[in-house]
Homo-oligomer: A and B are copies of this chain.
Amino acid sequence: MKATPVLEIFGPTIQGEGMVIGRKTMFVRTGGCDYRCSWCDSAFTWDGSQKAAAMSAEAIYDKLKETGGEAFNHVTISGGNPAMHPGLGDLVELLQQHGIETAIETQGSIWNEWVKEIDEVTVSPKPPSSLMKTDWPRLDRYMEELQPRRDKALSLKVVVFDENDLKYAIDVHERYPDVTMYLQVGNDDTATPQVEKLRDHLLAKYEWLTEKVLQEERLNGVRVLPQLHTLLWGNKQGV
């Protein structure tokens, strides 16, 4: 039995971003990340500020049912980088056995076979503002592994803070033109407790990003989205 470090299990709530936006889902947030993005909005998963519990697939499943009851049929596995953990393969299988769909988001740096079994995979390579460097050949192999899956969905997501990030997003889109691409406004104020102020600020940034995309012929096929949970609940954790 392979245990997985888990930081929080919560929901049901609404998936606030990306390809599954608006979907009612539970969240399992794992600890640990091979990246250190400058603007990471879940740094508590790797900076030592919160302690993870080592949990088996069965224990995670039990906790999901205890928390969400019968009011969900979808689970989002989030991090950190959840694709680091081999033990999650058992969880995905267990959820499938119970007819529960799964989604994951990962930067595409570490491969585990079970990622293939996830219904909705979002690969989110990190733009220059993160201060991380993309290993392109590795990302190519990641996308190759995921592209031939039947009845399962794949998307790319790039968080955009500035013009440089936007250039990076264009590179990603041109490299994988057949994969649906989401652009997301970066939240540059992950500390403020003031929801209304944050809301107006982020919608102004969303409008900026929208305008850029509308003018850019190389981004005709993309989708631009805000983070709905941040608009609703600000920077609160566990919602």
Cβ contacts A213-227/B at 8 Å (1 or 0 each): 111110111111110
A110 within 8 A of B: no
CB neighbours (8 Å) of A200 from chain B are 196, 199
On whether the beta carbons of A22 and B199 are closer than 8 Å, the reply is no
Among B12, B215, B220, B224, point to the contact of A22 (Cβ < 8 A). Answer: B224
A73 within 8 A of B: yes
How many residues on A have C-beta within 8 angstroms of the other chain's C-beta atoms? 39
Complex copy number for this chain: 2
Q: Which residue of B lies closest to A226 (CB)?
A: B228
Q: Which residues of A (14-37) have their CB < 8 Å from a CB of B?
A: 14, 20-24
On whether the beta carbons of B24 and A219 are closer than 8 Å, the reply is yes
Whole-angstrom CA separation of A23 from B222 in the bound complex: 6
A20, A203, A215 interface centre (most CB from chain B within 10 Å): A203
Whole-angstrom CA separation of A13 from B211 in the bound complex: 8
Q: Which residue of B lies closest to A213 (CB)?
A: B24
Instruction: Give A16 Cβ to nearest chain B Cβ, in Å.
Output: 10
Counting from the closest, the 3 A-B pairs by CB-CB distance are A22-B223, A22-B225, A73-B220
Interface residues, chain A, CB within 8 Å of chain B? 11-14, 20-24, 69-74, 182, 196, 199-200, 203, 206-207, 210, 213-217, 219-226, 228, 231-232
A-B contact pairs, 6 of them (CB 8 A): A24-B213, A71-B214, A73-B220, A203-B232, A226-B228, A231-B231
